[in-house]
Structure 1
């Protein structure tokens, strides 16, 4: 008989009896999921096939999605009526669990058993077509089966399997595809027995006088469901004299077998994974950990890593009460923070000690639970008060205490993975004191020449630790220091000195020292020149050049201007270009004459100086003039290419027509195919040699850092410069010498690196120098020519007998 009726908990169907007068009762709402009634059950159009040919999954958006498949339920219960029991494989038709949106069809064994029920006394047998494809539904008779949700203990299963087989009730589990509503919102998805109160993410189980209190849910363990965690709080379990104590249990049952997924806890007749007694004792299965928190709550972590994905688990929270009277309703417990996650994360407190001003690396995850899983990372929550903390790439933190601070500090962090966070852990830090050296603020003082200044160095030094300080001072170079009784210093510069002076001073806290230089600037104050009297003797009708400044001076070294104050009475004064005065007495006069002068330094004048002149009488005589002459040698120019800044480790190309007075020779003059710029190399630059190896180049000894390369290629070089030239003014008949340093590129012979030197188009010489593979081999050559007078042109050109497409050439320097 098939009936529709209300069933307890999440039961979707119930079958009583086998073969003879069986009764199947179906839930009108399919345990709240709703029924999918397939009007065309033979084609499975609302389902998609899976890797199991007997198991199908509802098409997204179809009417079968999210609903219980009536065909599967009827076939399942039909199997029970035929005498089939539950199978361990959760994907079989006779598995004890069923998910919404799943269709299961009979296997060949199940099909054989079902064939015996497809006909009755009043119905002819339905022949079985061996060509029927796997998964095709069977016709149904009046024999059916059952499905139900609930926590099944081994004792329950045994009881059901004994006794009158015609009255056996089969219990199957309707499971959620995943743990539903872990926040307990409105209790949706959970089966409740007794007094359970849901409020703001918690579920409170209260003892009931009428029945045991239970909260349970069956769900499919997913591939990433590795840890189950929850918090127990407001724990009140009665311990009544003369009767068993109340207890709280958590069970995790394999819905297919009715056995605990984690094994026992050592108590008889219990399939729980956790048991709390009224006396405070705890009993935990392997893989279950419990931690007591400061607020009295308990954090529970359940390791599910050994539970196979796809297992249908029945999670049950049971408050077991034995009290009577007032004690029958006094026990309770609250469950919160229920979470099923890929991994368990528990951040644990850490402590560290470091010295003042010393950073410390903190591997905070080393003692954290679940921190070794991929993707777990620590996140800062509260920053330290007396320092800074930065995360490192390896998951550690580096703590930097504030400068010169010591004491206790703290910061907090949590572990995170894909937005799922752990608890908050505290890192406590102890920063021990370390003596700090005194510090000095550098000072510079200024005073005028020939003055003094009082210095108080105590205000320029400090000690962060508050230690008493002592001072020592060195001697200045251009002055003196005098220490006063009050600890101050008087600095006096040397007489007439101006410029910069300095002295070193040191401060000590008894353990560490600090030194500094006190810089002193003495401003110049003008000192007037000093003009001294002079005397000279000359003959009558003679002349004398007077170098009056020879015994005069200006302490400041200023340029002096000689000013005649009073002129001589018996002669004349003329001024030479070097400020000498030429005195000529009047014709045929002799005797004593004089004049006065002063010196002016632009800011002041000296006192008046007197020059006495004694003119001795002589007879007139003829005069003789002698003129000397001498030849000199001088440099007209010198070129080292040092004006070019080296930008990198390759040559530097200056794309301009002129550099350091040399000009690039034009195309028409040089016959070049591509005129570029000045290619300048520097010591340390790298160049490819003949073997395509980079060679580090060095300038000629004494030749500065830079040099020029003249190059010419058979192809188009990037920056060829075959020749350079410049103009000079020469004296006719003078001998001129041109010298230069020459080197070829590394590992190329002299055919690639000759240069020719010409003046006004006439070659005066050539030079060539091949370099080994070890670097540049510099050689200095000199050439002479006779000046023709006027402007002449000097040209230096590369005249290679062999070319290279890379444009290699000859290096020249120190012209």
Structure 2
């Protein structure tokens, strides 16, 4: 609905001399005359007070509260005297004759937006005083053709004298290590001041390096140093009078050291029966620590029960168990950092029984050539012993040279000599009782020779008709061999058919073919190594014809 509306006046509250807040607002809307509220609404906001030379920002917020759209909507602001509008801030508006205009166009029902701009107050504007700024919006509505729908908003800004910046002074505080520093108001602001007497607030500039900080605007703060930190720390802040900041002030905090008790941890050592345990520095202190990094020393609390102890301040110690004692023992101590003791730490010492080494004796075995030697348990351990009666296991030291060996922990073994090898061989081992090895024992194996038959190869010779064939040593044995390297002899098996033969044991022979015979002939023989014959070899003779 459109009706006439009186001017909306915006009156500032009373401002005391020297009040600093440019942006503190005290706006009072006074309806001078109202018959009905128009559909187009406008509200103007800006600072309630400012000083000559200040740049201030006005914001115009407009809304179509009616049920239908409004067309041809135009919004204007009347730039007040003693100010200059900053044309680069008009936000789409145009300035003419001291009036800023915005062409809104069509504004739908319930739609709205805002425009902001800035003016600079002349430096010679009278202060104290005031600046009155008035804005207007108008347009047409479809529900009442041809009639305007307009509204106004007025804002008065009080002019005060120019503000002077506050002065912030440095501060110093002290706290102890691992202790929170709590400073109540006015805190860091207590030694700060404002030339105009304005109330001050604290604004953090940079925080501390070695702790956490909560700085309140009233100057109070809570500072918590990092755990175990001691030394200097600081933060910076500015004092603010609601308009201007002071320079940066530094708050120095000294965190005084507080001695932290060292931490001693338990230790454990082993030593053999009737043997002194000699532990060098840092000894029991090796796993202890001090939060402050102080040098530690060891202080005995209670000594051992089953031995004697010499504990040095550097943590080294010598413990000698009672003769023939085996089992647990212990002593306790504290670590001291020069001021404070740690809690009690216990050093546990286990005195281990001394094991007597087993005794392994040499062994001898025979096996025939090309035959595996299979010895069942206890095998090589059969003649070995342990003074403590501990069960024994066999551990190979060196294998055999002329065969393959599988030695089992129970002393059984399988030895396979190399093919055709005969002669001595050996391997060595130790007997172990689960803790200690014996000395080295040697197992000697004699591989007994077994004769291998010789190998005889066939031979072939040529001779001319009516001519004797005379073959010298080694003759037919020249291509024969014996695996054992034995000396061979030739033994005739079958004589030739077409001639006479004399075969010597050294392999040489004489063959005389029958008169006028020519053609093939042959004889056969064995090679003998003194014990065994080879297979039969054939000597082929070809008697060549003579014309």
* Superposition TM-score, scaled by structure 2 size: 0.33
Query: What TM-score do you get using the length of structure 1 for normalisation?
Result: 0.24
Structure number having the greater strand percentage: 2
Structure showing greater radius of gyration is 2
